[in-house]
Homo-oligomer: A and B are copies of this chain.
């Protein structure tokens, strides 16, 4: 089916577009009352993730209600550990919780490489259904967590400010870490390819905890696996986003990805200078700016677009939209991007 709006795909491919495409990380599943209504009708977050019809519904809501230029499938990065044999629960106000963790060779021997067709069919079904329901209105983004970030949760067993238990493994048992990272990576590649087959038009890899690593450790334990993923996915444009990893932009420029995401602490002009002109950049409005007045949001968005300049750019926030953001402020941001004239 031909896409009626393929702006984001053209921008990701490095083409010049008549205006900058826009979407928001976490646009589905945080801010819309319509999302909360769906969520309230179910037992919890995981039932929503695992029920294709409902995942499809909340994925499409921001396309209908906010006017974004892409849908991103409603899911969770932690479906991969679960598919590897490490189930998790989502604890209200606390976040993810794993009863088992991987901190030894023995624990590692009990898990396996994720098989998307056996273990993640519900995501693939959600993607197929969403692709059909979108009916060509906008492209559909698939995603996965980066291997380092997934390792963080599998070793730590929950969220953390420092992920020092996971980082401890990198020094105390680097071969175990590499073995786990490779297992995650292999399953993630299969999973992303299955997402493409199911209908994903582009993909994003989220390295949410990149920023707890030094540049040296990122080079050893994260970048090689990001490279494997990018090299394995020539079919659709891939976006890499490593929050907090201001030190890695030059290296990301050499990956076989099309787009590099920036968080809101990274300066668009300086980042472009580090990355060069070969990649599309994505980002990076401070999500907290959506607490400001509409006038301030418009001004900040216009300034951001000017800072990114004339090279290919996909407008987004610098991180996921915060749950207590007023949807009208999100619309204001989206409208400001759409109203901006490219020179």
Inter-subunit contact B211/A265 (CB<8 Å): yes
Closest to A266 in B: B247
Cα distance, A170 to B264, chains bound together (Å) = 16
Inter-subunit contact A171/B214 (CB<8 Å): no
Number of copies: 2
Asked if A267 is at the interface of the complex by the 8 Å CB criterion, the answer is yes
Measured between beta carbons, the chain B residues less than 8 angstroms from A217 are 286, 288
Segment of A66-74, A140-148, A159-167, A224-232 in the binding face: A159-167
Measured between beta carbons, the chain B residues less than 8 angstroms from A296 are 171
Report the minimum CB–CB distance from A95 to chain B (whole Å): 9
Q: Quick one: which of B171, B211, B216, B291 contacts A167, CB cutoff 8 A? A: B291
Q: Which A residues, 193 to 250, have Cβ-Cβ distances below 8 Å to chain B?
A: 211, 213-217, 244-247
Per-residue interface assignment for chain A, residues 311 to 334, with 1 indicating a CB less than 8 Å from any chain B CB and 0 otherwise: 000000011001010000000000
Q: Known contacts A161-B161, A291-B172: does B167 contact A265 (CB below 8 Å)?
A: no
Cα distance, A267 to B287, chains bound together (Å) = 27
Report the minimum CB–CB distance from A269 to chain B (whole Å): 11
Report the minimum CB–CB distance from A88 to chain B (whole Å): 18
Asked if A340 is at the interface of the complex by the 8 Å CB criterion, the answer is no
Closest to A165 in B: B324
Measured between beta carbons, the chain B residues less than 8 angstroms from A159 are 161
Pick from A211, A265, A287 the residue with the most CB of B within 10 Å: A265
Closest to A318 in B: B214
Asked if A83 is at the interface of the complex by the 8 Å CB criterion, the answer is no
Q: Quick one: which of B162, B216, B244 contacts A244, CB cutoff 8 A? A: B244
Asked if A168 is at the interface of the complex by the 8 Å CB criterion, the answer is yes
